[in-house]
Amino acid sequence: MEKDQNRLSRAVITTKDGSKSIFVPELDEHYHSVHGAIQEALHVFIGMGLDQCSNEPIRILEVGFGTGLNCLLTCLTGREIFYHGVEAYPVQREILNKLNYSELTGDNKSLFKSIHKASWQSDERITPNFRLLKDQVLIQEIELTEQYNLIYFDAFGPRVQKELWDPKLYRKLYSALTINGIFVTYCAKGQVRRDLQSVGFKIERLPGPPGKREMLRGRKV
């Protein structure tokens, strides 16, 4: 992906569950499933990811912070969490203001604003139980010194960001996980599954969110 991605136009759309998402016409790519942005996030990252972690505090790495939807839903669980979001191309404020996640999740407008007002490259406490570090950097260029219990892999798909769906990066993420740590992604492509297995992940093919047959979950064993 070229580093001038911020120059691309973005349109706010409404997905089938009523939640908003973003469409990038030049890439023919959506930030979330058109079948439901919130439904997808709850299923893939909360249900198949966070809900499978029994330990606390939990350390989470998100590759592709995007709109902050996964971060908001994770914070709303009330669990004790350190959340590290990595995003090379932050969504512009005027686009964020058009999203309706805070309204659809129970009038959490102040929380959503706090997540996005948090400074980049700064570890900040958003709630008593939730710390957030946002890094504006390419995931390939950051040194991951922390050990994470859970990784949300929410980059654009392999057609658009092929460089992120690569065994070299998977190996880096595998190393950053604790033993029994979990990796979840909406993608279920066979090549992705095989590449994840090649670096050591034990992979499960799971039922996908609405509109998608399968998703992948990996564990470090």
Sequence letter at residue 31: Y
| Average confidence (pLDDT) over 34-47 | 98
Q: Is the pLDDT of residue 176 over 50?
A: yes
Residue 6: the pLDDT is 65
Domain locations along the chain: 37-220
Residue 4: the pLDDT is 56
Radius of gyration, CA atoms only, the chain: 16
DSSP code of residue 15 = -
Superfamily, domain 37-220: Vaccinia Virus protein VP39 (3.40.50.150)
Residue 1: the pLDDT is 42
| Average confidence (pLDDT) over 46-75 | 97
Q: Is the pLDDT of residue 24 over 90?
A: yes
What's the rounded Cα separation, in Å, for the pair 73 and 79?
A: 11
What's the rounded Cα separation, in Å, for the pair 106 and 97?
A: 17
The pLDDT tens digits for 84-134 are 999 999 999 999 999 999 999 998 999 999 999 999 999 999 999 999 999
| Average confidence (pLDDT) over 69-78 | 98
Q: Is the pLDDT of residue 169 over 90?
A: yes
What's the rounded Cα separation, in Å, for the pair 35 and 27?
A: 19
Q: Is the pLDDT of residue 200 over 90?
A: yes
Q: Please list, in sequence order, all residues whose beta carbon lies within 8 angstroms of the beta carbon of residue 185, skipping any fewer than 6 positions away.
A: 44, 152, 153, 154, 192, 215, 216
Q: How far is CA 190 from CA 13, 108, 140, 165, in A?
A: 29, 38, 23, 12
Q: And the tokens for 26?
A: 């030049």
Q: Name the band, by pLDDT with cuts 50, 70 and 90, for residue 145.
A: confident
**Cβ 44 vs Cβ 215: under 8 Å:** yes
Percent of the chain with pLDDT over 70: 97
What one-character-per-residue DSSP string does 154-209 give? -PPPTTT-GGGSSHHHHHHHHHHEEEEEEEEES---HHHHHHHHHTTEEEEEEE-S
Which carries the bigger pLDDT value, residue 1 or residue 67? 67
Q: Quick one: which of 118, 220, 128, 126 has its CA closest to 179?
A: 220
